[in-house]
Amino acid sequence: MENFMQYIVSGIGTGSLYAIVALGLALIYRSTRILNFAHGDVSTAGVYLAITLLGMNFGYGIAYAAAILFGAVIAMAFYFIVLVPAQRRESTPLSQIILTIALGLIIQGLVSYLGGTEPQAFPHPLSDSTVYKMGPLVISELSIGTISAGLILCLLFYILIQKTKLGLAMRAVSENLPAAQTMSIPTRKILAFSWSLAAALGVTAGLFLAPVLLLEPFFMLEPFLKGFAAAILGGLNSLPGAIVGGLILGVAESLAGGFISIAFKNTLAFLIIILVLLFRPEGLLGKEFIERV
C-alpha cells in the first residue's frame, strides 16, 4: 500500500507537467483548430535562454521570467508574421499545421547550432536529491515544487478563462470566430495572446523537466508527445480535459513502471488511451466539434 501511494504521488508530479503541456496544445486547438507541432521546440528555446542567462550570473527569477517571455514572444511573432498572412491567403488547416512543423525544425537547428548537442545539467533552485518524509511517503523538493506549480498554474488559468473579460473574449473567439468579429472583439489580438499563453505554459513545464531529463535540443520531444496524448485522452477541445488527461497519463505511467516494468510504462499508458478513445472518440471530457457555416 505504501508503494502504491508513493507511485501515485510520483505520477501526479509527472502528470501535472504533462497537463501543463496539454493545456497549451488544447488552448491553441480550441482557438484555431490547429495542432501546434512546434510547441515542444518553442519550450526548448526558452529553456536554453534560461541556462544561457544563468551562465551569465543572472538570478533564477530573471532567467526563468525571461525564458517564459521569450517563448511567448516567439509564438506571438509566429502567429502574426506567418500564420496571419497564410490565413489571409486562405491556406488550409493542414497547411498551417505544416507551418508549425517548419517552425519546430527551424528552432531545432538554431538550438543545436547555438547551444550545442551535448546533454547538460540544468541548474534549478529546487533539488531533486533533497527529499522529505511525509508519513510513509518520500517526496523530493523538486517534486513538491512541480506539483505546487502545476496546481497554481491550473488555478490561475481557470480564473483567467472563467472570471475575467479577457477569458470571456477567448471563449467567444473559440466558440464562434465570425460572431466574435461582429461583436467588435479584437480576434487577432486574442488569438495571438492564446498562442503566447500556450508557449508560456510550455516553457514553464520545460523549466521543471530539464533538471530531471538533462538539457539537449530534443529533450522536450517525449514530454510534447505525452502532452499531446494527454490532450487527446481528455478531449482536445476541452481545457479541463487536458488537465485530467495529463494526471491520468502520469499516474498510469508511474503505476506501470512500479508494478510491472519501466519498459512497459509507456505501453500501458497508451493502451489506456486507445481503450478510452474506442468508447469515447472525443476524449473523456471533450465534445464533438460542430463547424458553424
Which pLDDT score is estimated for 293? 47
Among 82-96, 145-159, 259-273, where is mean pLDDT lowest?
259-273
Domains of the chain: 2-279 (1.10.3470)
Which pLDDT score is estimated for 37? 94
Distances from the Cα of 100 to the Cα of 76, 79, 92, 205, 225, angstroms = 13, 10, 13, 20, 15
Kindly indicate the confidence band of residue 262, based on its pLDDT and cuts at 50, 70 and 90: confident
Which pLDDT score is estimated for 2? 66
Model confidence pLDDT, tens digit, residues 142-169 = 888 888 988 898 888 889 988 899 888 9
Instruction: With 0.95 as the threshold, say if the pTM is over it.
Output: no
Which pLDDT score is estimated for 290? 54
pLDDT at 4 over 90: no
Give ∠ CA 190-288-195 in degrees, rounded to 5.
20
Give ∠ CA 27-30-32 in degrees, rounded to 5.
100
Model confidence pLDDT, tens digit, residues 13-33 = 889 999 999 999 999 998 888
Which pLDDT score is estimated for 288? 62
C-alpha cell at 125: 533552485
Among 8-12, 124-128, 282-286, where is mean pLDDT lowest?
282-286
What is the three-class DSSP state of 76? Answer: helix
Model confidence pLDDT, tens digit, residues 178-221 = 888 888 889 899 999 999 999 999 999 999 999 888 899 999 99
Task: Give the separation between CA 193 and CA 57, rounded to whole angstroms.
Answer: 31
Give ∠ CA 74-79-84 in degrees, rounded to 5.
155
What residues are paired with 131 via a beta bridge?
A: 140
Kindly indicate the confidence band of residue 138, based on its pLDDT and cuts at 50, 70 and 90: confident
Rg (CA), the chain: 19
